[in-house]
Amino acid sequence: MNIKKILLSTLLVLGIGSFSGIANAGCGKVVIASQNWASAELMAEVDKAILEKGYGCEVELIPGATMPTFASMDEKGAPDMNPEQWANAVYTPLIKAVDEGRLVIANEAPITGLGEGWWLTPGSIEKHPELKGMTAMEILKHPEWFPSKEDPSKGAFVGCPAGWGCQLANANLYRAFEMEKKGWVLIDPGSAAGLDGTISKAAESGNAWFGYYWNPTSIVGKYNLQAVPWGIDFAGRDNWDNCITKAEQDCADPKPTAWTKSEVNTIITSKFAKQGGKDIVKYIGKRTYPGNVMNGMLVWMADNQAGGSDAAIEFLSKHEGVWTKWVSSKVAKKVKAGL
């Protein structure tokens, strides 16, 4: 009896909710993946605002993450769009999906100046001034500068949380550089919160920290993380795609290499490319966030604990000069009116 009532009222609420959505249907229903990190959330919310207000779409955001979202788009054709797909993790299947006409790369560089790599906290350089200008290959000779909490005789290298594409890459590079022999342990921080936690803790207390991170992020902006040059060349796509990004058992002999150049794409399903129409595809193609604007937005989000939707409003109202170039003046007016 009680459960029935609850179900009934939920249905009612959901029903009312979806009614108001249908009211401004124009380009149809679009599902956008809102991945679980700040820049992706912001981009998803900005796309939602512009597509809804400017193009009359009915946009639904669904949560996502690099691998699951890609798999779902590739296999099921849903969600329709991923604003920030990190291509390295899915390089081979992405090319295959594009060749076979399932997915379309709508924007090859939605954010400028981004990249994955290894970083140091400024505190590391203060404690060990020799680190300034050192390459990763030289730093690897000094595990004693980054003592691990659980076994201080080893150096701690903080890798990627389990399940992220970069976890495999870091684990394979760990083997390729023979870091175990050199006295390092690879720390699995467990989750995004864990990874950020190790950095903010080290940075706040001025301690040394050496590990993987990526740009653009509020963490890099806020704590002024220093990118480490590799001091070694990129050893070719074959080594990277067929070994470094694979699970350990599929990568028997990883060769030492620099990190691959990071590529981020906005990918959409070919169904949405057709259904959405030329204008929308054109908008997505033009939508490029300058790296410094993006970093500024991310620090703003972190400082204000703002979610993607607040940040989208902030972005659309503060950075008009950036986004009005992406759309026609007519659409821009509509978006502005809708704010």
Partner 1 sequence: MEFFTKFPVMERTALMELKKGIDLSFRLFSRKYGDAIENFFDPLLFFLVKLEKLLLNTPWPIIILIIGILGWLGSRSWKLVIGSAIAFMLIGYFGMWNDTMATVAIISVCTTVCIAVGIPIGIVMSKSNRAEKAILPILDMMQTIPSFVYLVPILMLLGIGKVPGLIAVCIYALPPVIRLTNLGIREVDKEALEASEAFGATPFQKLRSVQIPLSLPTIFAGVNQTIMMALAMVVIASMIGVKGLGVPILRAISNQYLALGLMNGLAIVALAIIFDRITQEYGRRIQRHRGQKK
Give the footprint of partner 1 on this chain (CB under 8 A). Answer: 65, 67-68, 71, 149-151, 161-164, 167, 187-191, 193-194, 197-198, 200-201, 204-205, 303-305
Q: Which is nearer to partner 1, 150 or 253 (CB)?
A: 150
Nearest approach, Cβ of residue 197 and partner 1 (Å): 4
CB-based burial of residue 311 (10 Å sphere; 0-12 exposed, 13-18 middle, 19+ buried)?
buried
Q: Which is nearer to partner 1, 40 or 331 (CB)?
A: 40
Angle at 296 between CA 131 and CA 192, to 5 degrees: 65
Nearest approach, Cβ of residue 114 and partner 1 (Å): 21
Nearest approach, Cβ of residue 150 and partner 1 (Å): 5
Percentages helix, strand, coil for the chain (3-state, rounded to 5) are 50, 15, 30
Contact (Cβ atoms closer than 8 angstroms) between residue 142 and residue 156: no
Nearest approach, Cβ of residue 192 and partner 1 (Å): 9
Picking from 1, 4, 58, the residue whose alpha carbon sits closest to that of residue 28 is 58
Nearest approach, Cβ of residue 65 and partner 1 (Å): 6
Q: Which is nearer to partner 1, 65 or 232 (CB)?
A: 65
Contact (Cβ atoms closer than 8 angstroms) between residue 237 and residue 88: no
Helix H or strand E encompassing 185: strand 184-187
Q: Which is nearer to partner 1, 67 or 78 (CB)?
A: 67
Q: Which is nearer to partner 1, 180 or 303 (CB)?
A: 303
CB-based burial of residue 233 (10 Å sphere; 0-12 exposed, 13-18 middle, 19+ buried)?
exposed
Nearest approach, Cβ of residue 79 and partner 1 (Å): 16
Nearest approach, Cβ of residue 200 and partner 1 (Å): 7
Q: Which is nearer to partner 1, 108 or 204 (CB)?
A: 204
Contact (Cβ atoms closer than 8 angstroms) between residue 41 and residue 35: yes
Q: Which is nearer to partner 1, 194 or 229 (CB)?
A: 194
Determine if the peptide bond prior to 216 is cis (ω within 30°).
Answer: yes
Q: Which is nearer to partner 1, 167 or 215 (CB)?
A: 167
Nearest approach, Cβ of residue 204 and partner 1 (Å): 6
What are the distances in angstroms from CA 332 to CA 265, 317, 327, 335, 337? 24, 12, 6, 5, 9
The single-letter code of the amino acid at 319 is: H
Q: How many CB atoms lie within 10 A of CB 127?
A: 14
DSSP-assigned states of every residue in 245-314: TS-GGG-SSPPP-PPPPP-EEEEEEHHHHHHH-HHHHHHHHH--B-HHHHHHHHHHHHHHT--HHHHHHH
